[in-house]
């Protein structure tokens, strides 16, 4: 009888040793889901304005659902108020200057999800921006309250990416997990009037990290 219990104990130890890496891998893949959203603006530094400048940029979506909770937004960044606004083209992020001498706004938001089940991204085409025209593969930005000098221009760089995909749940090695990325860059020349501007989108296939 004692021999039987010894054999059973050895079997359970070996089973636990073999099963532990699989459970660990599955746990890592399920719990390590996140998205990042960045908005970088250049060309405004040290410009003097007589009224507030407002820049509207699209918000990130996974499928048709917002990927950025309002509570994740900072109230200000580099002398700019930050908020969500509703527009005729959908919900957008508003950056409004609060100082007469401008600084370049720079916003970066990282959102962690408690489970990869909350994200379930399997293709870069599932990432969208809130003002996106899917047929023309463009998104809208809006600029108002600013007159650029001759030969001046403003560059607005929007980036949205996620490190999670549904296939992670098949226990792929961490170094094989992909990052899906959607980006838009608007280069606004001095002769461009304030208003809506269509910006081409770039979807990048997944790459490992």
Residue 43: CB atoms within 10 Å:
17
Listing DSSP states for 23-47 in one string gives HHHHHHHHH-EEEEEEEEEES-TT-
pLDDT in tens, 109-140: 887 765 554 566 666 677 889 999 989 999 99
Average pLDDT in the chain: 76
pLDDT 10s digits, 6-35: 665 565 555 444 444 433 333 333 345 678
- Specify the DSSP class assigned to residue 125: G
How big is the CA angle at 68 (ends 99 and 105), to the nearest 5 degrees?
20
Report the alpha-carbon distance of residue 209 to residue 67 in Å, rounded: 22
Instruction: Pick 18 or 65 by higher pLDDT.
Output: 65
- Give the C-alpha distances (Å, rounded to integers) separating 33 from 21, 120, 125, 181, 199: 19, 9, 18, 14, 28
d(CA 26, CA 20): 10
* 25 compared with 177, residue with greater pLDDT: 177
Contacting residues for 107 by C-beta, under 8 A, at least 6 apart:
37, 38, 39, 40, 74, 77, 82, 93, 95
Which of the 8 DSSP states describes residue 117?
G
Would you state the pLDDT for residue 12? 54
- pTM score over 0.85: no
Share of the chain above pLDDT 90, in %: 32
């Amino acid at each position: 009888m004692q021999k039987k219990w010894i054999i059973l104990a050895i079997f359970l130890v070996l089973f636990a040793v073999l099963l532990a890496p699989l459970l660990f891998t599955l746990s890592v893949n399920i719990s390590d889901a996140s998205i990042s959203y960045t908005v970088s603006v250049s060309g405004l530094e040290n410009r003097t304005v007589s009224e507030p400048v407002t820049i509207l940029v699209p918000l990130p979506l996974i499928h048709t659902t917002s990927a950025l909770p309002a509570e994740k937004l900072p109230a200000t960044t580099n002398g700019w108020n930050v908020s969500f606004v509703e527009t005729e083209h959908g919900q957008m992020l508003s950056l409004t200057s609060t100082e007469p001498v401008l600084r370049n706004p720079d916003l970066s938001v990282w959102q962690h999800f408690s489970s990869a089940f909350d994200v379930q991204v399997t293709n870069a085409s599932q990432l969208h921006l809130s003002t996106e025209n899917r047929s023309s593969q463009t998104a809208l930005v809006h600029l108002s309250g600013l007159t650029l000098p001759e030969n001046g221009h403003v560059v607005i760089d929007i980036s949205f990416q996620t490190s999670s995909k549904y296939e992670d749940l098949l226990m792929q090695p961490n170094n094989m997990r992909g990052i899906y990325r959607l980006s838009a860059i608007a280069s606004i020349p001095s002769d461009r009037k304030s208003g809506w501007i269509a910006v081409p989108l770039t979807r990048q296939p997944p790459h490992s990290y």
